[in-house]
Amino acid sequence: MSETEYLVKLLDENWNAAISALKTTGGNGTLEDVHAVHPIILDIRDMSAGKSTDSKGRSLGGNRINTASKKESTNADTYIYSRDIIVVSEASNSIEYPSLAYDYRTETFNMSISIRTRQDDRILNDDTRVSPTSDFGTKRIRSLYLLVRYIIEQKRRGWFRSGSILYENIHVITFGDRTESNDKKNRIFGYKINVVMKRFAQPV
């Protein structure tokens, strides 16, 4: 499992628990229920066919991903699965040898998490329709950001994923800088977040 795959799985597999902790109903009230959604979380290197979909019928991978959503309401699902997108990639990797014998190394991975949402005319899970002049986009992007931050901070001492080999796991995860990445013409709101992951005492 690569470091990018690791971060994708960390976010995806802990996302619903974060929703339960932060939403208004049953949580601590950080998020409005209408924005407590599970987005598409992707490895930027995903080579799936453009028509591939996940278990919720959302576009998954390929050169183009359909972010348009007509309705977010779901039938009997506990969680709302939206077509907002989170893309994970690796920006850089560095290695240090902290011992005089150079017999073990510390690996640092600088990761990038891009969050995107579109202010379309979707019908939300409270049966209201998004207005082109509303503050939907800013509220949705903030909510997705808060969910990402919550997961990273909860797993700041590492996440030892069940079933994975020990050396594939990360020991420390820290949340870094955030920058905006908006496209007003296409009604897209975005954040780019830097995350640092470290793996200590790897034998050479």
CA angle 113, 79, 64 (to 5 degrees): 45
Domain architecture of the chain: domains with CATH: 3-203 (3.30.2000.10)
Residue 145 or 77, more confident: 145
User: How far, in Å, CA of 40 to CA of 38, rounded?
Assistant: 7
pTM: 0.89
Q: Is the pLDDT of residue 51 over 70?
A: no
Q: Which residue has the higher pLDDT, 186 or 178?
A: 178
C-alpha 204/C-alpha 202 separation (Å) is 6
Q: How far is CA 66 from CA 45, 52, 70, in A?
A: 17, 11, 11
